[in-house]
Chain A
Amino acid sequence: AQTVTQSQPEMSVQEAETVTLSCTYDTSESDYYLFWYKQPPSRQMILVIRQEAYKQQNATENRFSVNFQKAAKSFSLKISDSQLGDAAMYFCAYRTGDSNYQLIWGAGTKLIIKP
């Protein structure tokens, strides 16, 4: 069975600085997708970034980028130039590459931005 582990329950960063959130996963599949979702106090889960396992290039979305290490089964999220609006719970999620849409989630990391 696949598992996702986020070992940092809480992280804090100074506004405008850079922070990295860690995620490791375990799977025997070769085709899969990885995601980072953000959940602000409004509770709505918002997709931050996605990575296809077959792509070697790390995904980037504006200030958000990932470091995808397939062999190490590691998928960390880097947030550059942190802003107050980035404060939220961040969840790492995994799904297989088949048609069944089932996300397996990490426990989440609470990100605090210090002004």
Chain B
Amino acid sequence: KAGVTQTPRYLIKTRGQQVTLSCSPISGHRSVSWYQQTPGQGLQFLFEYFSETQRNKGNFPGRFSGRQFSNSRSEMNVSTLELGDSALYLCASSLGFSSTEAFFGQGTRLTVV
């Protein structure tokens, strides 16, 4: 059974640009959640999608957005990149019900220069 796939693995962008990251969940999983990991702030929840609907959102500015497609694949977008957006972005998939755990991808390392 394939795991959670995140693409690309590495990305370098210039300040002011926008970026789109992709996450393909485990087959059959309907929930995808996104986390930002930085040395200073640690792991922070961005948002969660379930069956194409955003079900929960963390405390991030509106420059961070996401969506989920009918096949459960999810994308997150960051517009007007800032140096502080440099981070490891982790995606997790789960069946989406309260009793189930999340499985993580290997992350996308975003560097903003």
B66 is an interface residue with CB less than 8 A from chain A: no
Name A's B-contacting residues (CB within 8 A): 33, 35, 37, 42-47, 50, 52, 91, 97-108
- Are A104 and B90 in contact (CB-based, < 8 A)? no
- Are B42 and A99 in contact (CB-based, < 8 A)? no
Tell me the complex Cα distance, A19–B96, Å.
33
Tell me the complex Cα distance, A108–B5, Å.
24
Apart from A101-B50, A102-B33: 9 A-B pairs, beta carbons within 8 A: A33-B98, A43-B106, A44-B104, A45-B104, A47-B103, A91-B43, A102-B45, A103-B33, A106-B42
- Are A103 and B97 in contact (CB-based, < 8 A)? no
Give the chain A neighbours of B58 by CB distance below 8 A: 102
Give the chain A neighbours of B105 by CB distance below 8 A: 44
B31 is an interface residue with CB less than 8 A from chain A: yes
Give the chain A neighbours of B31 by CB distance below 8 A: 101
B63 is an interface residue with CB less than 8 A from chain A: no
A96 and chain B: residue at smallest CB distance: B98
Tell me the complex Cα distance, A47–B4, Å.
13
> Chain B nearest CB: distance from A105 CB in Å?
4
Given A100-B48, A104-B45, A105-B42, verify A35-B55 contact (CB < 8 Å). Answer: no
- Are A101 and B106 in contact (CB-based, < 8 A)? no
Find B88's partner among A43, A101, A105 (CB 8 Å cutoff): A43
Given A35-B101, A43-B106, A50-B101, verify A99-B55 contact (CB < 8 Å). Answer: yes
Find B56's partner among A44, A102, A108 (CB 8 Å cutoff): A102
Give the chain B neighbours of A104 by CB distance below 8 A: 45
Tell me the complex Cα distance, A111–B108, Å.
24
Tell me the complex Cα distance, A42–B107, Å.
9
- Are B107 and A44 in contact (CB-based, < 8 A)? yes
Give the chain B neighbours of A46 by CB distance below 8 A: 104
A50 and chain B: residue at smallest CB distance: B101
Give the chain A neighbours of B107 by CB distance below 8 A: 43-44
